[in-house]
Structure formats: structure tokens, C-alpha cells
Chain A
Amino acid sequence: MDLTTLIDPTGRPRRFVITGGPSAGKEAIIDELHHRAIPATDGEPAREIYREHRERLGRHLQVGDRREYSREVLSAFVEEYTEHKHGLRFFNRGIPDGYGWDAFFGLGPYPELEEATRVYRYDGVFILDPLDDFESEDDLVFAKDREIRRVHELIVQGYYDAGYRPIFIPADDPSRRIDQILANVSAPTG
């Protein structure tokens, strides 16, 4: 199937999440999607919210700030979801990422997150396996640190808890990873 048919820009909205822990190479995948003119999240709404929160508080987030911050991030994800009206689109993280992230900080799921998870369903979820290659460009500050592994696993668990059956994309060259993702994207069904 050619890319235009797969994207189906006037068809029903089809939403796919690309997620994973911080050292999974997600940015490279999103960049490559843009490069191939495949619709995908532009930037990440959570970034601005995080920056604004820090600016407003004048310090880093604390335990008492975290729930409000999570709610703001959730509403940005919901907005991005509902604004997408036609055709294929890849989302840079999705609503259920909130489960994993809150769990990382010791917080349980909250009603708005559970409700949004129930109402706004994605057509598929791709989880990028962490990049193990220390030579790679994404060789991060924390590399194979257990911290990053924990984040990653809690994100995976969050998607399972939300009722998804994620598809795992092994560490590889971004282009080959995208080929694998596209091979698992269902065709438009009118």
C-alpha cells in the first residue's frame, strides 16, 4: 500500500501512539516521520506545561504540585486527541502515559485519567524498546540506569492497565523502526 493511501488524509481519524522510556529513541522516530511527511505530533505539549509550571513555581515540581501538573498534561493530550479529525496520525506519547508517569512518582491513577483513558481510545500503541547501544546518538546521561528502565516498564504497564496490547519495536535504525511501525498500522477502513 502506498503511503498516501495509508495516510488517507480525508478518511476517519486513526490515531497511533509512539511511546517508551526516555532513552528509547522516540525523538528520532518522530523526526523521521516528519521527514517522510507522515502526520505526527509536532513538539510535545507536555514540554511547555512543564516549563510553565517551573516558571510559575520558581522551582522544580514537588509532591504537592504533581497532581495538578498531571491534570494539565492530561488535558493537553486530550486536546491533541480531539483536534485530530481525519486520517492517520502518530502521537508522541498518549493519554495512558499518565499511568506510568504518576506511578513513577508513587501516585495512583486519578478519576480524570481513568475517564479519559476509557473515552479516548487509540487505534494502536507502539512501544519503543530502550536503545542499548552505547555508541548510538541517544547514548543518554543515564544510559542503562535502572531509573530509566523503571520509567519504561511503568509506561508499558500503564498501557496494559489501560487495556491496550502494545506492539514492541526493537532498538534499530530509526528508518527501519518506522518501516516496522508502518507494517503494523492497520489499513484505512473507510
Chain B
Amino acid sequence: MAQTTALPNAPLAPADTLRGLLRAGLPLPEQAQAGQLLELRGVIARAGRSGERASRIRALDSLLRWQLARFEHPRLAEPARLLFGAIRPAEGLTLTERREKAAAAAGYEVHHFRKRIEPEICQELARMLGADSEDLRSRAIPPVLGQARGPMRLPADVFAWEAAEHEESLSGLWSTVYALRAGLLATARLASMNGPDSGEAAQAARTALWHLALVLDAAAGYRAAYGPHLLGADPPTKPDHLALLAGWHPALQEDSESELASLAGRFATREDFLTNLDTCPASAAAEDWCRALAASTPPTNGETL
């Protein structure tokens, strides 16, 4: 049977890296050989200045402490904290001293502890770090809906108010994205049923344009409140790029997008928006957009119905 051999320069597995960190223990020294652990999503998300290695080391240090604090293994929780020097009786001790205390707490002989139990602890800690990073994976996804069991109640807490306000903004933004999706689907369906040049398809395309303008207007509002990217989205996502998730639609120049967003902000209803669209500087671009959208989805059998 073929055996796999680690390449000479292959990065260490997280559990092996953690074993290497045991020598100094916590707090991690600035020069700690933390390898791939510094690339963990959970570390980068917590680092105050994620571009700086020292900041990532500090974030890894606190993440390790936190994970050790909630290490739930019935037999190894306390030994794990002692081994890494995360709690008082082991803080500042050498690895040999920490190991002795940890082995005693676990009820093992020191050599057995070093050979068999330490890898087990590091493996579990590596698993926890990995799970933490997975939990933080946060693509641009809409706020999760769930069946409510009771009325919405917020504590009188500013953090709660602000988090709720952010979710209000995000929910509003996503509602425009879904409305745009509905508009794009309607246009595709009517172009397929009645032909891309039909009045129905043209009307649907104009409705879709209004919805696109509402997305852009909501995105501008979000940007003003929270900055250029959706908070917490990983990878960074611009709010107006959510429109692309609604479905394919023709591109617009940036100045036309701004015009349309502004128009949607000023005129609340579809009718008012479309009435005023004709005198707006982006009117020609808007017309081209609607025509291109309707024409993009002819029936696939090539026949005009």
C-alpha cells in the first residue's frame, strides 16, 4: 500500500502547530510560530488590525484562551488549561512545570500524558478552532428567517438597538433585492410568453428597472450608515453588488446608477418613478437597459409565441 509522506515544506497541521506553541504557552510571544493558525478566519475576524502579524498573534492568543475556557471535555478540560498556562496555577511556568501540573490534574503519569494525552488535547483544540472559523463564515446572505414563538422583544440595551437597526437596514436592502429578482423573473416569463418586443415584456422590464433603482437607493442608504461593505460579510461585499445576486441584468454606467437611485429616493411609487424617468438624465440609458433586459430572454425554441 502506498504511504503518504509529508512534503518537506508542507505547513504543519493545526494540531501540530498547537503542540509547537506549547513550549512558550500563553501568552503567545510575538515571535510565536503560529503558521496557518494566523490565517484562520476566526483569528482574522478578531484581529484589530488584521494586516499586522502582531495583532493576529494577540487575536489568536485570546481565541485560544476563550476556546480553552469552554473546553468541555469531561476529563481533559482543566489539564488543557493548565498545559497551555491559561489559568493561574500554571501561568508563567515552564512547559515542564505546566505539563506536570496538567498530568497530575488528569491523573496520568507525565510521560504518558506527553505522548498520548497532549496530542489528544491539541487535536480537540484544533477542531474547536476550525469549528469557530466555520461559524464565522458569513457570506452575503440575507438575515435568516425563523418561525417566531413570541413577540419581538429587545432589552433596553444600546447594543441591541443598534444590532436591530443594522438588521432593519439589511432586511430592507434584501427586500429590494428579492423584489428585483421578482421583476427580472417576470420580465423573463413575459418575454418568453409574448415575445421580447411585446408591451407586457416592456412593462415588466420597466418595473424591474424601478426595482433595480430601489436596490441602488437602499444600498446608498446602507453605505451612508455603515460604510462601503456589508458589516461582517466575508469576503467583503459592497451593498450595491447584492443586485447582481437577483439575477442577470444589463450593466449601467455608474452615473446612471446614481441618477436612478436618486430618482427612486425622491419618488416613492413605481408610477411616479417612471413618469419622472423620462426627464431624468439617465433616461436614454434606462430605455436601453429595459430593451436589453427584455431581449435577453427570448423563447429558447426560437419561435415568437
Contacts and interface: CB of A to CB of B under 8 A. Distances in A.
Interface of A: 21-23, 26-27, 44, 46-47, 49-50, 60-63, 73, 97, 99, 101, 103-106, 108-109, 134-135, 137-143, 145-151, 153-154, 156-157, 160-161, 165, 168
Given A61-B225, A160-B65, A142 B48 contact: no
Counting chain B CB atoms within 10 Å of each CB, which of A73, A106, A109 scores highest? A106
A103 B159 CA distance: 13
Contacts, number: 118
B48 A103 contact: yes
Contact of B158 (A44, A103, A153): A44
Given A137-B153, A154-B46, 12 more contacts: A50-B158, A60-B165, A63-B224, A99-B48, A104-B231, A105-B227, A106-B229, A134-B149, A138-B153, A141-B152, A147-B143, A160-B65
B46 A157 contact: yes
* Chain B, interface residues (CB within 8 Å), range: 35 or more
Contacts of A21: 159
A50 B161 contact: yes
Given A140-B160, A143-B146, A151-B159, A108 B167 contact: no
A38 B146 CA distance: 38
B232 A147 contact: yes
B226 A22 contact: no
Contacts of A106: 226-227, 229, 231
A49 B69 CA distance: 34
B8 interface: no
B138 A26 contact: no
A145 B143 contact: yes
B135 interface: yes
A156 B58 CA distance: 13
A145 B58 CA distance: 26
Counting chain A CB atoms within 10 Å of each CB, which of B61, B146, B163, B226 scores highest? B163
Given A103-B48, A109-B48, A143-B146, A149 B135 contact: yes
Counting chain B CB atoms within 10 Å of each CB, which of A63, A105, A137, A142 scores highest? A142
Contact of B48 (A46, A105, A108, A147): A108
Contacts of A139: 149-150, 153
Contact of B66 (A50, A60, A150, A156): A156
B225 A161 contact: no
A175 B243 CA distance: 48
Given A139-B149, A145-B144, A151-B163, A63 B70 contact: no
Given A62-B225, A104-B231, A105-B227, A147 B155 contact: no
A156 B62 contact: yes
A182 to B, nearest CB: 19
B49 interface: yes
A62 B169 CA distance: 12
Nearest to B91: A165
Contact of A161 (B58, B165, B167, B231): B58
A22 B163 CA distance: 8
B224 A62 contact: yes
B46 A153 contact: yes
Interface in B53-86: 58-59, 61-62, 65-66, 69-70
B227 A147 contact: no
A150 B226 CA distance: 15
Interface in B153-212: 153-167
Contacts of A150: 45, 136, 138, 232
Contacts of B229: 106
Contacts of B165: 60
A25 to B, nearest CB: 8
Closest 4 CB pairs of A and B: A160-B62, A22-B160, A27-B155, A46-B158
A42 B271 CA distance: 52
B65 A47 contact: no
B167 A27 contact: no
B241 to A, nearest CB: 17
Contacts of A142: 143, 163-164, 167
A169 to B, nearest CB: 11
Contacts of A109: 48
Nearest to A19: B159
B156 A47 contact: yes
